[in-house]
A and B are shown apart, each in its own frame.
Chain A
């Protein structure tokens, strides 16, 4: 019970902070929409070819915006010595971690909620024409990204180069999530049989479960001071 209360306290703190400053979500949102717009220069407007790659463009714009947001969110935590203070609190440290991960997840979800409709208008595609499974893809993919992204952003802001390390560490490890999400989205965009996408959803779920457990087991050891 205490554990859950710690998580929700951390999430509440982050949301309040974000409501005041709006720095993270606004910069992420601008970036992801900008990526969507810039990527449209790759192909002829209205060409049929686009349907086969738009899933990848949408998901990559979310990933890159996520990288930006993770760095921003952890930098503001570390700069004021806030993170060290949190670590001194007499609560379970992994609860603080999951609090941070959930608030990062929420920030990304807000960004997705605005980027996806805009994307569908700009590219003239409907990713929901075979049902609402894309939402599951975004939920599982974003969770997997947030959980490892939060851990790696803690590591990366502690290095001399600060935010440079995060994409270098995170992107190769994220390959299964990127691959699964893009492949599943492509199936929905092209209107293929949704059964084909189930294995990708399973892969995302397995990834999420494995790394939730691993981070839960490892986190206490790596932040020990």
Chain B
């Protein structure tokens, strides 16, 4: 209980610090201008989404081995938070793309993979809603959690090969970041990781409370 509160406060504080770094500390990008500042939270969200799905993958495997329902709760919670951050990536991506590249959407490998990722885990969460028996739900969801994550790199490479056949409309400029930009990015990644931990703790707590209520009500 106590740890949850402390983590909550720390997460909110860190996000404020990250905001300062993103808006004031980091220098303006010369070509793209102000909009480039969305980069810090956009990339951090993408990193957290990916990390959250990795956690789901790991705890799905652990559940199948140990049959401990806490692991299933963690897998579920992490997938839900992952979807949240994935949604943020998919919304901020086009908002950045429009002023920077002139189009809302491009079938860029990273953007497309993120979209597929969103669909895989939306399916995962829907599946969980549609199975009533807790042990069946946990086992089947674990299978999807494992297969879905293993699929991600294959999806990425297939899309990358596909996109190199056609001329690429835009190439994300991979050039070196200004050291202050790197600092701001690292801070916001750290802030989001703390936020992820706080959300995961709370969401897992909800999942285990729900499980407890179900067993109490019989």
Task: Tell me if chains A and B make direct contact, with any CB pair below 8 A.
Answer: yes
- Which A residues lie at the B interface, using CB under 8 A? 148, 151-152, 155, 158-161, 165, 168-169, 171-173, 175-176, 179-180, 183, 199-200, 203, 206-207, 210-211, 214-215, 218, 221-224
Main DSSP-derived SS at the B contact region: helix
Given the contacts A168-B123, A221-B64, A175 and B158 also touching, CB distance less than 8 Å: yes
Contact B127 A169 (CB under 8 A): yes
Contact A169 B123 (CB under 8 A): yes
Q: Does B5 contact A (CB under 8 A)?
A: no
Most interface-central of A152, A172, A224 (chain B CB within 10 A): A172
Most interface-central of A159, A168, A211 (chain B CB within 10 A): A159
Contact A203 B123 (CB under 8 A): no
- Which B residues lie at the A interface, using CB under 8 A? 64-65, 116, 119-120, 122-124, 126-127, 130-132, 136, 139-140, 142-144, 146-148, 150-151, 154-155, 157-159, 161-162, 165
Closest 7 CB pairs of A and B: A159-B130, A172-B119, A176-B158, A221-B64, A222-B139, A155-B140, A169-B123
Which of A151, A179, A211 is close to B159, meaning CB atoms less than 8 Å apart?
A179
Contact A155 B130 (CB under 8 A): no
Contact A218 B146 (CB under 8 A): yes
Contact B154 A151 (CB under 8 A): no
Question: What would be 29 A-B contacts, judged by CB atoms less than 8 Å apart?
Answer: A151-B147, A158-B131, A159-B130, A160-B130, A161-B130, A165-B126, A168-B123, A169-B144, A172-B116, A172-B119, A173-B147, A175-B116, A175-B158, A176-B151, A176-B154, A179-B158, A183-B162, A203-B161, A206-B154, A207-B154, A210-B150, A210-B154, A211-B147, A218-B142, A221-B64, A221-B139, A221-B142, A223-B139, A224-B139
Shortest distance between the CB of A176 and any CB in chain B (Å): 4
Contact B119 A151 (CB under 8 A): no
Chain A's closest residue to B157 (CB) is A203
Contact B131 A160 (CB under 8 A): yes
Given the contacts A179-B158, A203-B158, A222-B64, A155 and B144 also touching, CB distance less than 8 Å: yes
Most interface-central of B126, B143, B148 (chain A CB within 10 A): B143
Bound-state CA distance A152–B142 (Å) is: 12
Which of A160, A173, A211 is close to B132, meaning CB atoms less than 8 Å apart?
A160
Bound-state CA distance A26–B148 (Å) is: 32
> In the complex, what residues of B have CB within 8 A of residue A148's CB?
147
> In the complex, what residues of B have CB within 8 A of residue A160's CB?
130-132
